[in-house]
Structure 1
Amino acid sequence: MPPYPNVLVGYDGTAESDRALRWAADEARLRHLDLTVCHCWRWPYPISHVDVGIEAVVKRKGERLLDHGAGQAARLARSVKVRTRLMDGPAYAALVHEAHEAELVVIGSHGQDEPPVGSTVLQLPARAVRPVIVVRRAGAFRERVVVGVDGSPASDAALAFAFEEAALRGWNLRAVYGCWEPGAVADSELALFADEDKLTRSCGTRLERAVAPWRVKYPQVDARTALVLEGPRTALLEAAADADLIVVGDRGTGRVDPLLLGATSTALLRHAPCAVAIVHAPPA
C-alpha cells in the first residue's frame, strides 16, 4: 500500500465545493487512488449551550450532505473507491489532521474576493503537510500548468508536483521565474541588480538548471521557461491569467514564520484567477 493512499477533498454542498469535488475525482482517477470526501459540521451555538437533540439534528444534516457529496463523487469517477469522513470543528483543522494520510488535498474557493485571514483557503495550505489545491471557477480552458521557480527547496517540490500534474493531464507547462526580488537574496548577490545583463544570465542559468532534471524525467511534457524582470508576485499573477493551474512552494527564499505562507503564495491564493496548488518542501 502506498504511504499516502487517497485524495482528500473538503465538501460542504456549495457550488465551490462541487468544483473541488470534480477536480479531486479527476486526481483520484488519474493517480489510481481512493477518494476521501470530508465534511466538517459545526455546533452553531456557544460551546456552553448544550442541547443533545439539536446537536443530533445538526450532525444528521452533515451526514446527509456528506452522502450527497460521496454519491456525486462516485458518479464522477466510477473506477474510484470513495470513502467518507464526517468530522466536527473548524474545517481547516480537520483537513490538516486528515491530510497526513493523503497524497494531496483539494478544496474550493469562493472566487477572487479576498479571503479572511482565518479562512480555510489560507490556513490549510500553510499547515497541511501535503500539497493543497484550491479550486476556483474556471475560465477558458488553457490546458496549461504554470509553476513558480526561485531556487528554493519549496520551488523544487513545486516543480516536481507541476510536472507530474502536466504529465497526468496531458497539459503543457510553463516555468516562470520572477527574479526581481532584491530583498530575498544574499548580500553577495545584491550587485546583480545594478546590471540587468548579469542578473539575466545568473537567474536564467538558475531557472534552466532547476527545470532540466524534470524535463528528462517527463519528456512527454511540453515545458517552456520564462525569466521575468518583475517581482515574483507580479510575474506569477500575470502568468496565471493563461493557466488552469498555478503551482508554487509554500514559501520562497525570503525569511517567513514557519506557520505562515510566503507573500507570493498568499497573494496567489487571494488573487489568482485559476486553481492554485501550494506545495511544501520536504522536511530537512
Structure 2
Amino acid sequence: MGRAPRNQRPNILFGYDGSRENDAALRWAVEEARARGLALVICHCWHWPYPPGHVDDGVEAIVRRAGERLLEQGVRRARDLGADAVRGRLRREPVLQALVRESEDAELIVVGSHDCRRLPAGSTAMRLPAQARRPVVAVRHAAPSHGLVVAGVDGSAGGAAALRLAVEEAVLRGWPLRVVYGAWEPGTVPESELPLFGDRARLARTRAAMLERVAGPWRERHPDLDMRVSLVLERPREALLEAAQDADLLVVGDRGTGHLDPLLLGATSSAMLHHAPCTVAIVPQTGGPGEPPA
C-alpha cells in the first residue's frame, strides 16, 4: 500500500458500541490507522438515562463501569486486529456530541452502519456527517469486497474534497479509482445553464470538460494510479448507486451544488448512506480534504 500524500491530523477516531456491525467498522478503522501511520482513538459513550434529579450513585457507578469494560474490550479487539497505537476514550454524553468534540484531532471518523435499506433515520451514521467537520466513514456490515474506490463529483467544493479523499484511499489501499459525475441535475443549476438540458450533446461536452479539469490534476500527480472517469447523463443518485455496486468504498461530498441548511446532508449523500451496498465516506466542504496543491 502507498502512503498518505499530505500532512495529517494525529489520529483516526472510531465510535465503538460493541455490536456485530461495529466490529466490521473497527477492522476498517484499524486498517485505516495502520495505512496512514496514525494512532487509533476508540471512543465509547455511556449515559445515565434518567433526569439529573433521579441519580442513584451506586447504580450510576455500575453503568459507568459497564461502559469502561466495554471500552477495554474494544481496545483489546483493536490490538488483536493489529492496531499499532490505540487508546480508549470514555465520554459521558450522547454519541453524536462526543464524536464531534473528539474529532478535532482526527483525520477522519469511522462508525459502523447497518445493512443498506435498514439505516435508521436517527442513527449516528446518518446524523454525524451533517455536523462533523471531518470526513465520516460509515462502514457497511458484511459488504462485498471488490477492491475499488468510487468518487462522486459535481463541480462543488464538497465534490472536490471527496475526490481528494478518494484518491488518498485508492493510493493507500492499492485499489483502482472510478470518478463518476451524474450530470443530469437541472434542479440544482443556475437558470443560465438550463438550456444545456435541451441539448444532450452540448451538455455532455460541457460537463466532460469540467470533469477533466477536476480529475486531470490528480491523474498527473499520481500517474501510477488506475483512475477512470465516467460522465453519466443520469441523476447523481442513480449514477452513483449503479457505480457503487462494484465498489468497496464510495466517497461523496456532504452536499452538492444546491443550497441547503448547513445542518442537513444533501439528498444524494443521504441516499448513499441509506442505499449504497458498500462502505460510504461523507466529506465536508469545510475541514475536509481540498484541492490538490499546485
TM over 0.5: yes
1:83-103 CA-to-partner distances (Å, cap 9, x unmatched) read 110012211111011011101
Task: Output the CA distance in 1 between the equivalents of 2:208 and 2:8.
Answer: 36
1:24-63 matches, cutoff 5 A: 24-63=29-68
The alignment partner of 2:187 has SS state of helix
Task: Output the CA distance in 2 between the equivalents of 1:246 and 1:224.
Answer: 14
Task: Output the CA distance in 2 between the equivalents of 1:193 and 1:174.
Answer: 25
2:191 alignment counterpart: 187
The alignment partner of 1:36 has SS state of strand
Q: How many residues align?
A: 282
Deviation at residue 114 of structure 1 after TM alignment: 4.2
The alignment partner of 1:184 has SS state of coil
1:220 alignment counterpart: 224
1:259 alignment counterpart: 263
The alignment partner of 1:35 has SS state of strand
1:97 alignment counterpart: 101
1:156-215 CA-to-partner distances (Å, cap 9, x unmatched) read 000100000000000000000000010111111100000000011011111111111111
Amino acid paired to 2:195:
A
Contact 1:3 1:101 in 2 (8 A): no
Task: Output the CA distance in 2 between the equivalents of 1:238 and 1:54.
Answer: 50
Amino acid paired to 1:261:
L
1:158 aligns with 2:183: no
1:76 alignment counterpart: 81
1:128-143 matches, cutoff 5 A: 128-143=132-147
The alignment partner of 1:261 has SS state of coil
Amino acid paired to 1:51:
D
Contact 1:138 1:244 in 2 (8 A): no
Deviation at residue 4 of structure 1 after TM alignment: 1.6
- 2:272 aligned to which of 259, 268, 271: 268
Contact 1:133 1:278 in 2 (8 A): yes
- 1:176 aligned to which of 176, 180, 188: 180
- The more displaced of 87-96 and 160-169 is 87-96
Contact 2:12 2:39 in 1 (8 A): yes
1:207-229 CA-to-partner distances (Å, cap 9, x unmatched) read 11111111112222100011111
**Identity %, equivalent residues:** 57
Task: Output the CA distance in 1 between the equivalents of 2:224 and 2:129.
Answer: 29
1:5 alignment counterpart: 10
Contact 1:134 1:276 in 2 (8 A): yes
Deviation at residue 45 of structure 1 after TM alignment: 3.0
Task: Output the CA distance in 2 between the equivalents of 1:65 and 1:141.
Answer: 29
1:230 alignment counterpart: 234
Q: In 2 relative to 1, CA 115–139 (structure 1 residues): closer, same or farther, beyond 3 Å?
A: closer
Could you state the TM-score of these two structures normalised by the residue count of structure 1? 0.96
Deviation at residue 68 of structure 1 after TM alignment: 0.6
Deviation at residue 47 of structure 1 after TM alignment: 4.1
The alignment partner of 1:43 has SS state of coil
2:243 alignment counterpart: 239
Deviation at residue 139 of structure 1 after TM alignment: 3.5
Task: Output the CA distance in 1 between the equivalents of 2:182 and 2:37.
Answer: 35
Task: Output the CA distance in 2 between the equivalents of 1:206 and 1:252.
Answer: 15
1:103-123 CA-to-partner distances (Å, cap 9, x unmatched) read 100000121234343321111
Task: Output the CA distance in 2 between the equivalents of 1:3 and 1:155.
Answer: 20
Task: Output the CA distance in 2 between the equivalents of 1:93 and 1:110.
Answer: 21
2:4 alignment counterpart: none
Contact 2:170 2:176 in 1 (8 A): yes
1:121 alignment counterpart: 125
Contact 1:244 1:275 in 2 (8 A): yes
Task: Output the CA distance in 1 between the equivalents of 2:117 and 2:233.
Answer: 28
Unaligned runs of 5+ in 2: 1-6
Say what the alpha-carbon RMSD is for the aligned residues: 1.4
The alignment partner of 2:282 has SS state of strand
